[in-house]
Structure 1
């Protein structure tokens, strides 16, 4: 029998207790959970959490985690009292904008498989009799939402984990992390060392302090959040206040009044009110109260109430719930919660200390789901639910800086209930990372959106005049206000220029890596599904899989020399994974050492694409750009206008052309040289909006949007990227097992029948009146003159089958189409 690793979990709150339970359920019994506070009331966020589990989320992953949390906690009970009370959830709208937003949220819930329904004011009143229905325009009701009894849950989880061998120790502050040879070996508390093969920090808002013990940045800010409990209400008379489990003294649904940044839950005869309608209040560790004995009303995470911040919210509470005019505030405090730069949780392993993991910024809502995924990650090497949205490696270095973390985390607090468009950029901080040709883009009137700190042009106002000469059948139709937000008809002109002439695209923000050394080929062969042992100058589109054959990423790999490869990657997660694998190989076999470098910041890239791309570039370079001189998916090191470059004959837009790479110092010269040479040809600068439209028409997938680790290559339509008969790559055995049975779901191309109605992604799709899947990405296809979308749908759906997409409560008819929609014979791109 194999002995399980020794695991030390730092933090005995709802995440740590759930993780101990999940690990011991999987047979890992040598688990020790440490907390500086007493157990179960440790004094952290879990100890005062209101316990609301609203499941609906724009993220499929977070919705699934919330749903699992509710199901799991509902299975925990003592003396008939369960740790989850499914009282239902009600979100109400008091403005037309919010009512429209609730229709979008209903779409999220339906897409992810939740039972949800839109209700009118009268039904909202019947669900929650305390609301003033005259103020309410409608609501969203999810019957399976409810209240978690977090402290009861921790106690029941602890008991179950201990029965399987786990140990919980309160009053044990962590003072150090022991290590040897770059690996974690234990956790120190004063003079005691707890041996460990794996350490997981689930310390909540103390996470950054734990990270400091090993020099690891945990991008999280403790922020105060107001919570009050009222005096008894006559309308709730007879409901017991004192029950086992804090969520069990409620029968009213949990309620959100997001137009005023408020939420409500019942406490017996009283109401609890949480408010985000106040200034962000970051809290330093030195500002937290020192507490001799932790009680329900005295703990480090419970600060003095700042009454002035609740004056206006209290008036808003009384407007929605008139009964509160006859009530007062009985108990009030500012409770500490964790906020991050993008509002997401933090899961991952330290880059510098093997075996040290974090599971931080996880609220009660998602606690059991996150713990389950982390347990799967530790035990099986991968999680059943894709974790890329939570992975710590998603942040770029600039996003880990203290000022950035502080500003953006506070902004997430302010915007927590705001109605936000999926493309809506943050307003500050901006201009953190710009390409070398940024000034030229500004001169052309670029409209910038931001990703990973990069400013990325989405269209150029300088091209507005092109709309006057755009052929009638290319003129874009009018859009609804929501889909038109952060879009412009100028994108049609830029797409037209790409399809009919030549355009220049800024590709600098895409992650670029160099993998080198005598072991580089062997490493990449093991990590990818494609055959990379090719001649110098070859370029290969390939996949990285996890052990279960889920798509970990897709890469473009160019062989520059025998031992040097340039990789076009998807972001920091790829850098983190490849770097770890390279370090492991180098340690195990020093003669096969590998070095991985992120070259993104020191380089830049311009995509030159269109039927006249060769006319533009060939006069500037000695490299033969004919089909024979540089074939499709080949690379060459040469010069353009005397500037050293790497040319790669690739095209993500489905047109002839090249990605042209050079150093950042030469970037502006390269742009100017290409622009000057293209002037007589009528070259156009084009942005991401046209780019996304063109790539969807060509059927090119976007990892993290169209597919992730929950999908295998065959399902995703990427079976061609798996080299037949290649041995030894990660995920091969699992892929063979999965491929033995035809997939039940596939990524399918849809076209919108009316030719005008837009969707944006994450909408539910119905086939034969039943929910069948969901949209991944969408854009108006300017070449095909209709909106295009991709969706996960049953594999059995035939081409030309009719489906319906729910968009803000309206059903839009679409057709399952053969793909790609443009140039299926690849004649244009190979011209």
Structure 2
């Protein structure tokens, strides 16, 4: 038997079935699903089925919101029972910092139209009569939280998909995957060969078995997760209503009613990975042996919080495998380097995320991108550094931090599997007090602790222990000169006879015309939405150097690769690992660099937005006169083996000019002073360069590039949304991201990023608002940790609005 389909989904858990269902709902009926045994036989069947909206990421919250909305109407649509219980849920705060997390997430919920309510301790028992509240600071109430039967909801979507024409093949384990000369996938099973134009790997804890058949490895691992099902308790029977879910993140457990008893699900520190060497071939719809001794402390504490639990004998213990990625978010989207291959796996909250995952997966497949920015879930957020050892170590860490407070910078501070990637200057930076964070595997200096100051972050939602030091770093750059290691930048060379035409077709801006010239440009979708940001330097008539964000490395390489012409006229080379990048910036940047090179660094010989190949301290350097802090300065791109010598020479040459190391937090403050947008914050696939106020970098006249017509139309008609630049009357906490912006008490927009502007002495932020509200002088409010802070739209940028300092002019 050979059966062809446009899309073949591999895996019959909730994520795979949801993908099939949503493709069918979009009218794509030439689709099929193959499942190794029976639907839900992997992790889905034994899941607890909890349905929280809560997330510290607004886009994950939106994904979960979609799932819950879908599940509430699915039974009426398909006629198949789903076992949905809308009980509401309480989250408990034992500390003020946890309550601040609730305040922050409640603001995000307002943006999503959800009805979260912050509660005082004395209000909690109104919702849950068996709860002890004496040690609590407060709580958070979500009236639409609840739980659902995982098997029933999955089968309801399967029924809906079949009725729309989709085909489901059970007992069809995949044994091999290949591709023919035309690029059609050949998927071998005992039932025959299934062929498809597109395949989706939704194989759950067996996803890496499927991936291996194609020649790659997914960054994920499986963990044991236990929960207890108790016997019935008379007080629950007599309650007269279903009790709400309780989550206690400070203790690390969830508790909900199950019939007349409870389900208690702890997340113990030091979680246990399973199948590090691969899933046993004969493992099916099975469970592991219970290990309650690992949970004793959490269970005892839960009994103190809800004493009724002491009366509930344990009926059974469920201990089954669930998947984890290194950051705890699933993998939803295309895989770098392989066309027409998508993944939808890695879920540790699979039931509440499954419905939304299938919805956005169908958009990835049929539209080329989802309607919201799901970069946090894009498989391309990881690179080759996320190998098996790394993935297992991080999975254990994520499991133990399942309920960790979602502070700014919390994830990058986690220590497992670090360091993964370092530059030659890493040791020297560490000696100089660098406090590192990890991004895309790279160790990057966030700030530099002075002598006598603890070299670590003390995390919280308010200004941290680095605040004053970061201010000093900012002032050093503005007043003297600073040095920053940005070697993690993604770097690509594009060359060949077709290189210019290829890049011109991808770029919103015109390419640099002269050898040595630099241009900033954007790659957009056909609808004009931002896909990538590059600085492009012309190295020769047929050779270009592209630099983009460190975290976007795999994504940007893959986006460039997918658009290469088939005739071989363009070569794309990833040179990230070959070149380091040191940034020197500030009024004395030229003075320092001049001591190390014979090259003419003057404004006429070496103007802004130009590049030159020079020798500095004996090192060959590609010097780009551009930086992200808005000062006179250069990005010094150099062969990585020269980095340590170059770094030391710059620091020695800069001593007489007060040179100082500065980190990424200072850079973030300085770039906000200059109103420079950031990829992943202001620049996402939800917005266009026109909406982001980047019209200058969109040249439509006489050109044809992807997205050109959409942007030309927006330039004339607008979209109703624009990026605003705000000054905020903040106290001891600044806007970070996802804070709601209010007008007359109603949500009118969302902060995309914010920080304290140290050299201006004010709090600044970017926010997307309706166009009419972006007029300078418009008065608004920003909700920061539950407090309405007065804000005003101001002209951008707040610092050096004529951009003289970047051009090297410091006199009045």
TM-score (norm 1): 0.91
Quote the residue 1:395 is aligned against.
Answer: 382
How big is each residue's C-alpha offset from its partner over 1:374-402, in whole Å with a ceiling of 9 and x where there is no partner?
11111111211122111111112212x11
- Residue 761 in 1 paired to residue 753 in 2? no
Aligned pairs for 1:346-357 (under 5 A) are 346-357=331-342
Partner residue of 1:599 out of 572, 575, 580: 575
Quote the residue 2:261 is aligned against.
Answer: 270
- Residue 251 in 1 paired to residue 242 in 2? yes
- Bigger mean CA offset, 715-724 vs 800-809: 800-809
- Residue 566 in 1 paired to residue 556 in 2? no
SS at match of 1:556: strand
Quote the residue 1:674 is aligned against.
Answer: 650
Aligned pairs for 1:216-615 (under 5 A) are 216-237=216-237, 251-284=242-275, 299-300=285-286, 302-362=287-347, 363-399=350-386, 401-424=387-410, 425-462=413-450, 482-485=461-464, 487-532=466-511, 534-571=513-550, 573=552, 575-579=554-558, 581-582=560-561, 585-586=564-565, 588-590=566-568, 592=569, 594-615=570-591
Instruction: Indicate conservation of the 8 Å contact 1:388/1:704, yes or no.
Output: yes
How big is each residue's C-alpha offset from its partner over 1:191-223, in whole Å with a ceiling of 9 and x where there is no partner?
610111111011111111111111211111111
Quote the residue 1:159 is aligned against.
Answer: 159
Instruction: Indicate conservation of the 8 Å contact 1:279/1:309, yes or no.
Output: no
Cα 1:94–1:608, aligned 2, differ >3 Å: closer, same or farther? closer
- Measure, in 1, the Cα distance between the counterparts of 2:468 and 2:105: 27
Aligned pairs for 1:653-668 (under 5 A) are 653-668=629-644
Partner residue of 2:669 out of 693, 705, 709: 693
Deviation at 1:307, TM superposition (A): 2.2
Instruction: Indicate conservation of the 8 Å contact 1:34/1:173, yes or no.
Output: yes
- Residue 133 in 1 paired to residue 133 in 2? yes
> How many equivalent residue pairs?
795
Quote the residue 1:31 is aligned against.
Answer: 31
What are the ranges of 5 or more consecutive residues in structure 1 without an aligned counterpart?
Answer: 241-249, 466-478
Aligned pairs for 1:81-230 (under 5 A) are 81-82=81-82, 84-181=84-181, 183-190=183-190, 192-230=192-230
Cα 1:418–1:755, aligned 2, differ >3 Å: closer, same or farther? closer
Quote the residue 1:245 is aligned against.
Answer: none
How big is each residue's C-alpha offset from its partner over 1:411-469, in whole Å with a ceiling of 9 and x where there is no partner?
0000010114221311232232222222332232222222222222222235899xxxx
Partner residue of 1:809 out of 769, 782, 786: 786
Quote the residue 1:829 is aligned against.
Answer: 806
Deviation at 1:289, TM superposition (A): 8.3
- Measure, in 2, the Cα distance between the counterparts of 1:226 and 1:481: 30
Instruction: Indicate conservation of the 8 Å contact 1:394/1:571, yes or no.
Output: no
SS at match of 2:801: coil
Cα 1:374–1:436, aligned 2, differ >3 Å: closer, same or farther? same
SS at match of 2:377: coil
Cα 1:582–1:80, aligned 2, differ >3 Å: closer, same or farther? closer
Deviation at 1:825, TM superposition (A): 0.8
SS at match of 1:585: coil
Deviation at 1:87, TM superposition (A): 2.2
- Measure, in 1, the Cα distance between the counterparts of 2:87 and 2:186: 43
What are the ranges of 5 or more consecutive residues in structure 2 without an aligned counterpart?
Answer: none
Deviation at 1:141, TM superposition (A): 0.8
TM-score (norm 2): 0.93
- Bigger mean CA offset, 48-57 vs 63-72: 48-57
- Measure, in 2, the Cα distance between the counterparts of 1:289 and 1:597: 39
Cα 1:234–1:134, aligned 2, differ >3 Å: closer, same or farther? farther
How big is each residue's C-alpha offset from its partner over 1:693-741, in whole Å with a ceiling of 9 and x where there is no partner?
1100000011102230001111111121111315332222333344443
- Bigger mean CA offset, 102-111 vs 635-644: 102-111
Quote the residue 2:58 is aligned against.
Answer: 60
How big is each residue's C-alpha offset from its partner over 1:773-797, in whole Å with a ceiling of 9 and x where there is no partner?
2222222112211111222222212
- Measure, in 1, the Cα distance between the counterparts of 2:530 and 2:741: 23
Partner residue of 2:685 out of 701, 709, 724: 709
Cα 1:415–1:253, aligned 2, differ >3 Å: closer, same or farther? same
Cα 1:760–1:350, aligned 2, differ >3 Å: closer, same or farther? closer
- Measure, in 2, the Cα distance between the counterparts of 1:806 and 1:547: 35
Aligned pairs for 1:713-732 (under 5 A) are 713-725=689-701, 727-732=703-708
SS at match of 2:564: helix
- Coordinate RMSD, CA, aligned: 2.5
How big is each residue's C-alpha offset from its partner over 1:763-813, in whole Å with a ceiling of 9 and x where there is no partner?
222111111222222221122111112222222123222222222222222
Instruction: Indicate conservation of the 8 Å contact 2:722/2:768, yes or no.
Output: yes
- Measure, in 1, the Cα distance between the counterparts of 2:449 and 2:231: 58
- Measure, in 2, the Cα distance between the counterparts of 1:129 and 1:756: 37
How big is each residue's C-alpha offset from its partner over 1:580-607, in whole Å with a ceiling of 9 and x where there is no partner?
6446534x223x2x22222222211111
- Measure, in 2, the Cα distance between the counterparts of 1:608 and 1:780: 22
- Residue 47 in 1 paired to residue 36 in 2? no
How big is each residue's C-alpha offset from its partner over 1:623-679, in whole Å with a ceiling of 9 and x where there is no partner?
322221122111111212332111111121111111111111111121122222222
- Measure, in 2, the Cα distance between the counterparts of 1:25 and 1:283: 36
- Measure, in 1, the Cα distance between the counterparts of 2:521 and 2:298: 53
- Bigger mean CA offset, 308-317 vs 160-169: 308-317
Instruction: Indicate conservation of the 8 Å contact 1:553/1:574, yes or no.
Output: no
- Measure, in 2, the Cα distance between the counterparts of 1:105 and 1:312: 28
How big is each residue's C-alpha offset from its partner over 1:286-343, in whole Å with a ceiling of 9 and x where there is no partner?
8978889x8xxxx23x222112223223222221222122110111121211101111
Cα 1:496–1:213, aligned 2, differ >3 Å: closer, same or farther? same
- Bigger mean CA offset, 538-547 vs 795-804: 795-804
Quote the residue 1:622 is aligned against.
Answer: 598
- Measure, in 2, the Cα distance between the counterparts of 1:230 and 1:175: 40
SS at match of 1:514: strand
Cα 1:571–1:165, aligned 2, differ >3 Å: closer, same or farther? farther
Quote the residue 1:9 is aligned against.
Answer: 9
Instruction: Indicate conservation of the 8 Å contact 1:146/1:253, yes or no.
Output: yes
Instruction: Indicate conservation of the 8 Å contact 1:289/1:303, yes or no.
Output: no
- Bigger mean CA offset, 574-583 vs 562-571: 574-583
Quote the residue 1:774 is aligned against.
Answer: 750
